[in-house]
Structure 1
Amino acid sequence: MNDQGETRQSKRQIAAHPRHWAFWGQRTRLKVYLLITEVIAVGAMIWFGLTTPAPTSDDWFRFTVLAVCATVHIQLSRRQEERRRSTRKPTVHIDLTGIWSFPAVVVLPIHLALLLIVLSRTQRWFVARRPLYRFTFSAASMLLGAMVTYAVLMVFEPHTWTDLDVPGSFTQFGILLIAGVVYFVSQALVIGAGAIALSTTTPTIRTVLGTKEDNELEALTIGLGMMSAILLVNLPAALAVMVLLSVVGNRIAEVRQLQVDVRTDPKTGLLNMRGWHEAAQRALERAGRADAPAAVLMVDLDHFKSINDTWGHPAGDDVLERVAEALRTETRPSDVIGRFGGEEFVLLLPEADSGEAVTAGERIRRRIAELQVSTTDKRGGPVDISERTTSVGIAVYPDHGRALDELVQLADAAVYEAKENGRDQVRVAAR
C-alpha cells in the first residue's frame, strides 16, 4: 500500500475510535445543545410514530413517488453537491432535497415524511464531507423542522388541493405559505441561532442566518417544494419535471457559489482583492457622479508574524477571522471591505470625508485592540490572544487622488508612516 493509502486508512481508524471523534473537541455548551436537540428529535419521532394513524395505500404510493424522485435527484446531482460542500465555509449550507421533504410533510402522514428525510440524508452522507456529529445534528434539525411544520398544519385540518373554488384556492395557498415559513424558520433557529451561534465566539448575522443568496436559495427550495406537493396530489407523473428542475437548481447553486468563491477570501469571508477592486471601483464611480467624497482605509495588524511564530498559523487564522468580524461590525452596509493580503485589510467608505474617515479608523483600531481571541497554541492547548495593535492609513477621494489604485497606494504609504512613528495609530496620507 502506498503512503497516501496508508494515510487515508490511518485517518479512518482514528475517526472510527470514539475518543478521536471531532465532537469531543467542541465547546461544552455546543455539545450539550447538540445532544439535547437530538434527544428531543428522537423523542418526538417516537411520539408521532405511536400516535399517528397507519398510512393508507395512497400514502404509500405517494411516498414511493417522492422517494424515487429524491433518489434520482440526489444521485444525478452528487458531483455538484460534493464540489459545493468541499469549498463551502463552515456556515449555513442549503440542501435542495427540501424540494422533496417539504411536500412529504404537507401531504403524507408524519412518520412517512420522517422516513423520507432519513432515506435522503442517508444518501447525502456519502457526499457530506462533514464530521459525523455535524451531519447527525443537521439531520435532527430537518426532522424537528418537519415535525413542527406538521404540528402547525394539524391546526388547519383538513386541507386538500383538489376540486377547489377560487376562495378555497386562496385559503389552501395561505396554509401552504404558512407551512413553508414555519419549515424555513424552525430550521434556521435550530441550526443558525442555535448551533452556529454557540460554536463561534462572536456570531454575526451572516454566519448565523446565512447570506442573502443562502436565504434566497432556501426560499426557492421551499417554493419548488410547494409545487411538488400540489403535483403529488393532482398529477404525480409531472414530478419528473420537478426532478429536472432540482438537478438544474443544484448546478445553478454550484455555479453561483463558485462565482462567490472567486471574489471571496476563504479565510475571512471578506472580498479578496479582485472582488474588492471591482466593488470599490463601482462605489468610487458613484461618488464621482454625485460629487461626493470617499475614503480608502488600509488596516495593518502590527507584529502579526509574531502570532504565527509564537502560537502557530491556525492561531493566526483565528485572529484574522475575528478581525474580519470586527470590521463588519464597525462599518456600514454600504462600506466595501476586503482582505488586501497577509495581515492587511482594505476598506472603501463612500461619502466619508477626511474627518469621518479618521473617526472610522480610530473606531476600528480600538475595536481590534479590545478583541480577545480564544484559540490554540502549537501543541493544541488553549490560549487567549488579546491587546493587538493596528496601524491604519487613510487616503480620501478627491483630495488625495481620483484613481482607486492611486488612493490604495497612498493609504498604504500612510500605514508605513504610522508604523515608522510607533504603530498603533491612524495616519492620513500627505496631500
Structure 2
Amino acid sequence: MLPPKRRDNLKEKIEGITNKLGVSAYTRVLDYEIFQTIKSYLLKLYNGDKVVPPPSELPFKVEDVFSFIPPGILTFPTIVGIDPLENYASFENALLAIVRYNDKRYFLSLPIIPDRFGNLYSIFVVGEDPEELYSIELTNLLTKLAIRNSGYYGKFLRLSLVGENIERVKFKVLPSPTITLNDIYLKDKSDLEDFIEAVKRKNYGLRYLFVGEPGTGKTDTVKAIIAECLKSESDGITVIEVDAGCKIPLNIIFEYAEIFSPVLLCIDDIDLLVGTRDKLFNPKELSSALQALDGFVKRDDHYLIATTNDRHLVDIALRRPGRFDLIIEFKELDPDFYPSLVLRESKDERLSEVFKEEKIRKKLAILKVTGAFLVTLVKHLLKQRYNETKYDPHTVLALIDKLHKSFKFEVKQEEKLGFVGGFEHE
C-alpha cells in the first residue's frame, strides 16, 4: 500500500494539474493493468478493430489518437505488440485521444508520471467546453468498456499486489478448476445449485458465507461453483479470486470487482482481511470495508462467496442479515461418502470396499474426520509398503490410529481432522 506521505504528495500533484485544466477536468490514478487496458481499447477503436458493442452503437466516438514523446513530439500511436490476452502494447510517455461525447469534444491523456518511488499511471479527461461536466461519466464508461473488450473479461482471475504499491494490482488469468459438484460430498447441494443458477441467469445477486474448520471442503466447494459458473453459455462472467495473501485491502478488492461486472468474487479466509472488533484492527479500515461491501451487495449482477474457519472470527457487522444471504456450515465428512472419496483418490474399487466395513466406518465417525484426513490416509495406504496389506481392515485401523495420534497434537482438542463435509444452514 502507498505510504501516507506518498499518497498526500500524489494527491497534491494531481490536484494541481487538475486545477490548471479547469472545472471540467477529471483525473484518476489507475493501476498498471487497468491503465494498459484503457490504452489498448482506445487503440482498438482508432484502428477500427472489432469491439463490443460495435463503434456504431457506442455513445462516444474516438476522433483521433496520438503518442506523446518528450520533449514535445506528437506522433502516430506506437504499437509494439499484442500481449497473450490480445491487448495492444504501446510505447510512449503518454497516449492522447480526442473523444466526442454528448456532442462535445473531450481531451484524454493517459500519462506515465515519474515518481521517486516508481512510475504512477493515471488518466486525465477535460472537456472542450468548461460548462460540460461529463468527464467522470466518460471516464467510468471508458473503463468499463475497456475491461469488457480486454482479455481479462470473462476469465478466472487472481488478484495480487506487486510490492507495496496499491496502484500495482496484478491480474493473473487462471485455468478453470477441474473439480465439479460431483466431487463435492454433500447430501444436499440445492443451495449450491441455486447459487450457480442465479449466476447463469444474472437476475439477482447472491452472497454466501462458508464456515468450517480447515479441511472441511470450503475451498473445493468454491472451486466447483467457479467451474460450473464459467461453463455458462450466456454473456460471460468474470471470476475474481483473492485471499489474505494478496495483501490488498478489502475495500480495494470490491472496487476492482465493480469494474468487472458481472462478477463473481471469491474471498478465501475473509476473517484475515477484515478481523474482528475485539482484535487489533484499524476502525477506519473496517468501516471502509463494510461500506464497500454494502455497495457491492446492492447490485444484481454481483455475486460473492467468502470463507472463514470460524464464524466468530468475522466481525458481527459483516455477518448481519443483508450482507450475506446464506451462511453455510461445513462439518465432518458423512460416513456414507467414505467409499466414494477413497475411490476418487485411489482409483481402487477393492480398497474403497474396505471402507464399507463397519469397524472402519465407526472408527472414522467417532473421530469426526473430514475428507482431508481421509485423503491423507489413502495417500499412506498407496505407499509401496502397504501393497500387500492395505485391504486388511486391521492395517487400515492401525494406520488411522497412527495418523490420529500424529495430528491431534497439531490441532485444538475440539477441532475436526480434515476436509469435505456436510453442512447446516443458519
Q: Fold-level match, TM-score > 0.5? A: no
Higher strand share: 2
TM range (shorter): under 0.3
TM (norm. structure 2) is 0.25
TM (norm. structure 1) is 0.25
